Structure formats: C-alpha cells, structure tokens
Amino acid sequence: MDEFIDFVRGGPLGPIKKWGTRWSLWPVHLVTACCGAELAHAFACGYDGERIGALNYGIARQTNLIIVEGAITRKMARVLRVTWEQMPDPKFVIVMGACGLEGGLFWNGYHLVKPSDVVPVDFFIPGCPPTPEALLRGIRQLQDKIVTGEAKTSATFSEIMLEQGRKPRVLPKSPKKVSKAPAVLVNVPKQVEWEFGEKLVEELKAKIDAKSITITGKNRIAVKVERDYIPKAALKLRDMGFDHVKNVNVVDVPNEDKFIVEYHFSSYSVKELMPVVVNVFADVPRDEPEVKSLAKIFPSADYLEREMHDFFGVVFEGNPWTGRKFLLAPDAPEYPLRKDFKLEKEVYVR
C-alpha cells in the first residue's frame, strides 16, 4: 500500500520513522495451510528471523506486518480482512506460497479468493511451499521497499520459449459425447464367503420392500429402494438393530439425469452388526431432487444431509436447515459439486 510507504518515508521525521519501521516488522501470521511449517522453520533456530528484527507475534493489534500462509477461501477472506483492519497503520502484507498467489493446487476452485482482492499485498513469495530463505528474503525486500520506496522483485525466472510447431491442447467441444452404459453402479454383486450376510439378506428381503438387495463385498450390503420408501426402510433397519447413519452420500449422474442418494447404516449396539454397513440408496430425478429427511429418525444424518444440500442442492424434506448455506460461505456459488457446475473459463496468456 503506497500511502503507508509514503507515510513512513515522509515528513521531517522520515529517517527516524523509516529506521524504526524497517527494523521492527513484527509479523502476525495467518496460517491456513502447510506454509505455516515453513514460517515456523524460518523463525526457529536454523534461520532465526528475529535476527532482522522480525519478532513473531500473535496479536494483530500490536503488529505491523501480516504474513498470509496458504490458500484463502471465501470464509477465510473475511477473517483476513478483519485481521488486517485490526492492525494499526502503517501496515504491510506479505503473501506466501503458490496458493495465495494464483490459487496453486486449488487453482480455479469455486471456493478460492485471491488475497490481493481482499487486502493490498506488498510482496508475494512464490514456492510450494517457499523455503525459509525465501520468506526471510521477502521480509528483507519489504525492508528495502521501506528504505528506497520502490518495490523490486528479487526472484527472476529464466524465460522458456514455446517450441515451434507444437500444437496447443485442444479441449473437446460441447456437447461432449457420453457412453450409453450406466456410468455409476452402486450395487455390483461380489461373491464372498459370508454366511451371516446371506442370513441378513434373507431377513432384509422379508422385511423391506426393496427393488434389489445385493452383497457387494464382505460386510457390505446394498439395498435399492424407491425414493419415498427410504424412511420406512430406515425404521425397519432401526428395529433390526441398526442405530446410526454413518454417511449420507449423493452421486451426480448427469447423463442419466439422476442423482443417486445413499444412506449408510451401521450399528454400535449389536455386536454382530457392528462391522456391517447397509447401503440404502435410491435414484432421484435431477429436475426434482427431493428426498424425505432421516434427521428425525437418526440424528446423525442431520449434519450430513445439510452438507449434501450445500454441495448438490438435493432437498431433504423435513430437515430444518434446508434452503440455507451450512458449510459454505454465504456468497459461495450454488451447488458447486454438481457435474454441470460452471467454473470460470481457463485463460492462457502467451
């Protein structure tokens, strides 16, 4: 931020301000990823960042430098901004790592924000993760910027020319062709020696009005039902001794125009059923993704249903959280894990 640099350098007391600020850059660090380990290394006995006057400090109110380590998601962006606004002027920002620079590993993700959109950044330190030397060099560069007033890059990369005659990558054109075979199969039968399982399948067949019941592996049973029948099946399973929902899962199958909603049941109380996982699943049409909620019957399903509603937009009727964002940031785009979710277009600059 140039006005802070101008403040530090300007006025009749400029040299004193410059000197004091230069040798007293206390970083408060906002760790969201693995770069925190490198920061710890940079301030531990190997490299000792305190040599150059940078004392690592935990409290934003009393510092003047913020080191952002790692990817900034939409939720963390608010935290970053609050932290930055807590700090007294003049203050500086260093962003560390590839994630903070352009997204890095999470490049073009729906949940990512560039730190430079949130706060004015003085220096970026590239690397995944950057070495402690690179971090300390970033702090030295900031010191130089305070002294000379102009930001210089200290890392120069050799430019590699693209080979002549090499064709650029061609992406398949829309509409993309898809095979007619079913894309996702949840109940692939498998031959296993499991006597108790066969007994259990007989019991299930007697009790549940299922489309198909298959053994998909040792201790794994898949039960296909109609989507309105899921709560009744769940009540039957509860009577049999299955006492919790382990997982709620949604599979998006756009070429068959359906979601597959899976509930995995297991038991903590009956010893024989403890290793067994029963997968009760149903096909749900994509244009009307509605399933009856199991939150009233199994409270452990509540959290998972909210999460699936966040990511896929499947409506769980009866779940009180439906219609609101649960895990995602309030401004996150709708239903990011659907297959037809549009990311920002990839742009290559030559």
Q: Which residues bind other proteins (CB under 8 A)?
A: 8, 13, 16-17, 19-24, 26, 44-45, 48, 50-53, 55, 58-59, 61-62, 64, 86-90
Cα–Cα distance, 160 to 173 (Å, whole number): 30
How, if at all, do strands 27-31 and 65-69 pair? parallel
Cα angle for residues 204, 253, 172 (degrees, 5° grid)? 155
Consecutive H or E run containing 203? helix 195-207
Closer residue to other proteins (CB): 57 or 106: 57
* Closest approach of other proteins to the CB of residue 85, in Å: 10
Residue whose CB is less far from other proteins, 20 or 320: 20
Q: Which of 126, 21, 26, 27 is nearest to 67 (CA)?
A: 27
DSSP-assigned states of every residue in 257-272: TEEEEEEEEE-SS-TT
Output 44 or 327, the one with its CB closest to other proteins: 44
The 3-state DSSP class for residue 6 equals: helix
Shortest CB 261 distance to other proteins, Å: 43
**Closer residue to other proteins (CB): 31 or 183:** 31
Minimal distance, residue 130 CB to other proteins, in Å: 20
Name the residue among 297, 280, 336, 338 with its Cα closest to residue 112: 336
Helix and strand element counts for the chain (H, E):
10, 13
**Closest approach of Cβ 45 to other proteins, in Å?**
4
**Closer CB to other proteins, 45 or 206, in the complex:** 45
Rounded Cα gap, residues 280 and 84, in angstroms: 48
Look at residue 274 and give its three-state secondary structure.
Answer: coil
- Of 56 and 249, which CB lies nearer to other proteins in the complex structure? 56
Smallest distance from the beta carbon of 63 to other proteins, in angstroms? 9
Task: Output 67 or 282, the one with its CB closest to other proteins.
Answer: 67
Structure tokens at 12: 């009749």
Kindly give the pairing relationship between strand 212-217 and strand 220-224: antiparallel
Paired sense of beta strands 112-113 and 72-73, if any: antiparallel
Q: How far is the CB of 340 from other proteins (least distance, A)?
A: 46
d(CA 140, CA 151): 11
Helix (H, G, I), strand (E, B) or coil at 308: helix
- 29 vs 220 by CB, closer to other proteins: 29
Nearer to other proteins, 47 or 106 (CB): 47
Task: Work out how close the CB of 53 gets to other proteins at its nearest, in angstroms, rounded to a whole number.
Answer: 5
Distance CA 39, CA 74 (A): 23
Shortest approach of other proteins to residue 148 CB, angstroms? 17
Q: What angle do CA 205, 208, 209 make, to 5 degrees?
A: 95
Least separation in angstroms between residue 84's CB and other proteins is: 13
